[in-house]
Amino acid sequence: MASTTVHAGEASSSSSIQRRPPRSWKYHVFLSFRGQDTRTGFTSHLYAALRRKGITTYKDDYDLRKGDVISDELLKAIEDSMFGVIVLSPNYASSSWCLDELCKILDCNKNLGQHIVLIFYDVEPAHVRHQKGTFREAFKKHEEREDSEKIKRWKAALTQVAGYSGWNPKDYKNDATLAESISQSIHEIMIPKLLPSSKKKLVGIDSRVEQVINHIGSGLDDVRFIGICGLGGIGKTTLARIVYESLQSEFKVACFFADVRERCEKNGILQAQKDLLVHINGSSSEIDNKYDGRRIIQASLCHKKVLLVLDDVNKEEQLKNLAEEQDWFGPGSRIIITTRDMRLLRIQDAREIYNVEGLGENEAFDLFCLKAFKQRKPEKEYLDLSKQVVKYCAGLPLALEVLGSHFYGRSIEEWHSALEKLKSFPHVDIFEALKISYDGLDSMEKDIFLDIAYFFK
């Protein structure tokens, strides 16, 4: 049954997962499929559905393979993936690459705790298990040029994987519906495993996440723009990311669109629209101008419940061309905007605005110590120096993290020397982050800012 598909691979390795320390993953999903069978059909639907859920997917899109030996790049991609998704189709076994991928996925399931998701696409499990039909024909050809040990290993892998519960297209109206169900199932398993690792070193995040989620209005059918505002380095992006990961399973389409300011400055608003559409649809759209881009974004999303995060917005034009009106989005949609400029949120009629404040004294001290000492308390001789640095940072998470890492492993003498330098010259990473806000001012505002700064000096 489809409802137990993902759990089949999970059950086979659940005990080893519990004993094994958590690891980081480069990809959420590795897709193993036979291109000539499903590349332009079911697999393209599945890839798009995974992308809409924000699931990072490795999909070998090129037919430029040379030789019969699987590449090191593919083997590494499989190892770096949380899920191995195998689309068993009639010609799957005709590809030695596919069979090698299958063996590697089973090996990662056993040794790394990788989850296996299996789709029997136009094939019967019995044909896979006993290598009948097209699978038998494929092995007749393999036996002419491959050694017996490799043939034995491939057959054993097919027999093993055929015993897993798998998704069957016959249970669904069409390929798109099947793909959506699979992506949702993967997402529901994936998110709880990601959240603890993303939050474990974040100080003071839980209460802030709860406050933002209270503004979201989950379960209501209105469309809401929600703002997260604050200084550079205050933690807006981190907060938005945790909120996004906590809620994305509730939405038909979820997209965290990072670095809007940088994208638009480097490549222009038209390219930003194209990038957004790739996130939404899993493929690029032919757009010649930003007006067409606005129309296509609206057409893609207006009937869907969407969670969209526009991160680091600094100009009204960006909102106008990426998410201008509520009617661009389907009922229940939520658009979260992170920005340093409160004015943009008011122009956008953001229903709720959460102003991110600096960390409290105890939270700031904890964060600094975690970075500087890898523990929440410093050694006695470093206590007063640590308090001086924490006071200097004024609750700014970026400053606490940068300086904590800067002071890590240094002697008392080096601490004293570095503190003296900080009084005259701020750390370059902190300076550059804060300078972005200054650069965003117009000439008159810059003059006023400098007048006030020199007055207090």
**Confidence (pLDDT) at 25:** 78
Q: In this structure, is residue 208 part of a structural domain?
A: yes
Q: Has 210 been annotated as catalytic? A: no
**Does position 61 have pLDDT exceeding 70, yes or no?**
no
> Rounded to 10 degrees, what is the CA torsion of 17, 23, 27, 32?
-40
Q: Structurally, how many domains does the chain consist of?
A: 3
**Confidence (pLDDT) at 4:** 32
Q: In this structure, is residue 448 part of a structural domain?
A: no
Domain shared by 41 and 75, yes or no: yes
**Confidence (pLDDT) at 18:** 37
Domain shared by 285 and 336, yes or no: yes
The mean-pLDDT minimum among 169-173, 215-219, 334-338 falls in 215-219
Cα 404 to its chain centre, rounded Å, is 26
Q: In this structure, is residue 453 part of a structural domain?
A: no
Question: Across residues 330-346, what is the average pLDDT?
Answer: 94
The mean-pLDDT minimum among 177-186, 236-245, 446-455 falls in 446-455
Tell me the percentage of the chain whose pLDDT exceeds 90: 43
Domain shared by 294 and 243, yes or no: yes
> Which tokens sit at 49?
């559905």
Domain shared by 390 and 284, yes or no: no
**Confidence (pLDDT) at 53:** 80
Domain boundary among 187, 215, 240: 187
**Does position 99 have pLDDT exceeding 60, yes or no?**
yes
Domain shared by 14 and 103, yes or no: yes
Q: How far is CA 345 from CA 276, 316, 317, 349, in A?
A: 20, 9, 13, 6
**Confidence (pLDDT) at 12:** 34
The domain containing residue 226 runs over which residues?
204-355
At 203-258, the pLDDT tens digits run 778 888 888 888 888 778 899 999 999 888 888 998 999 899 888 878 888 899 99
Q: In this structure, is residue 25 part of a structural domain?
A: yes
At 281-329, the pLDDT tens digits run 766 667 889 999 999 999 999 999 999 999 999 999 999 999 999 999 9
Confidence of residue 191 (pLDDT cuts 50, 70, 90): low
Domain shared by 88 and 109, yes or no: yes
Q: In this structure, is residue 199 part of a structural domain?
A: no
**Confidence (pLDDT) at 202:** 73
Whichever domain contains 77, its CATH number is: 3.40.50.10140
Domain shared by 260 and 164, yes or no: no
Domain shared by 17 and 160, yes or no: yes
Domain boundary among 325, 355, 385: 355
Select which of 10, 79, 101, 363 is catalytic.
101
Q: In this structure, is residue 177 part of a structural domain?
A: yes
- Which of the pair, 241 or 439, is modelled with greater confidence? 241
Whichever domain contains 268, its CATH number is: 3.40.50.300
**Confidence (pLDDT) at 43:** 93
**Confidence (pLDDT) at 263:** 92
**Does position 87 have pLDDT exceeding 90, yes or no?**
yes
Confidence of residue 69 (pLDDT cuts 50, 70, 90): low
**Confidence (pLDDT) at 439:** 57
Domain boundary among 187, 216, 235: 187
**Confidence (pLDDT) at 426:** 65
The structure's pTM equals 0.58
Domain shared by 29 and 76, yes or no: yes
Q: In this structure, is residue 219 part of a structural domain?
A: yes
**Confidence (pLDDT) at 101:** 93
Confidence of residue 6 (pLDDT cuts 50, 70, 90): very low
Q: In this structure, is residue 269 part of a structural domain?
A: yes
> Rounded to 10 degrees, what is the CA torsion of 224, 229, 235, 239?
-10
SS (H, E, C) the chain: CHHHHHHHHHHCCHHHHHHCCCCCCCEEEEEECCHHHHCCCHHHHHHHHHHHCCCCEEECCCCCCCCCCCCHHHHHHHHCEEEEEEEECCCHHHCHHHHHHHHHHHHHHHHHCCEEEEEECCCCHHHHHHCCCHHHHHHHHHHHHCCHHHHHHHHHHHHHHCCCCCECHHHCCCHHHHHHHHHHHHHHHHHHHHHHHHHCCCCCHHHHHHHHHHHHCCCCCCCEEEEEECCCCCCHHHHHHHHHHHHHHHCCEEEEECCHHHHHHHHHHHHHHHHHHHHHHCCCCCCCCHHHHHHHHHHHHCCCCEEEEEEEECCHHHHHHHCCCHHHCCCCCEEEEEECCHHHHHHCCCCEEEECCCCCHHHHHHHHHHHHHCCCCCCHHHHHHHHHHHHHHCCCHHHHHHHHHHHCCCCHHHHHHHHHHHHHCCCHHHHHHHHHHHHCCCHHHHHHHHHHHHHHC
Q: Which one of 32-41, 189-198, 374-383 scores highest in mean pLDDT?
A: 32-41
Tell me the percentage of the chain whose pLDDT exceeds 70: 82
**Confidence (pLDDT) at 20:** 42
d(CA 131, CA 135): 5
Domain shared by 146 and 241, yes or no: no
**Does position 351 have pLDDT exceeding 90, yes or no?**
no
Domain shared by 162 and 270, yes or no: no
Domain shared by 311 and 217, yes or no: yes
Q: Please, which residues have CB within 8 angstroms of residue 64's CB and are 6 or more apart in sequence?
A: none
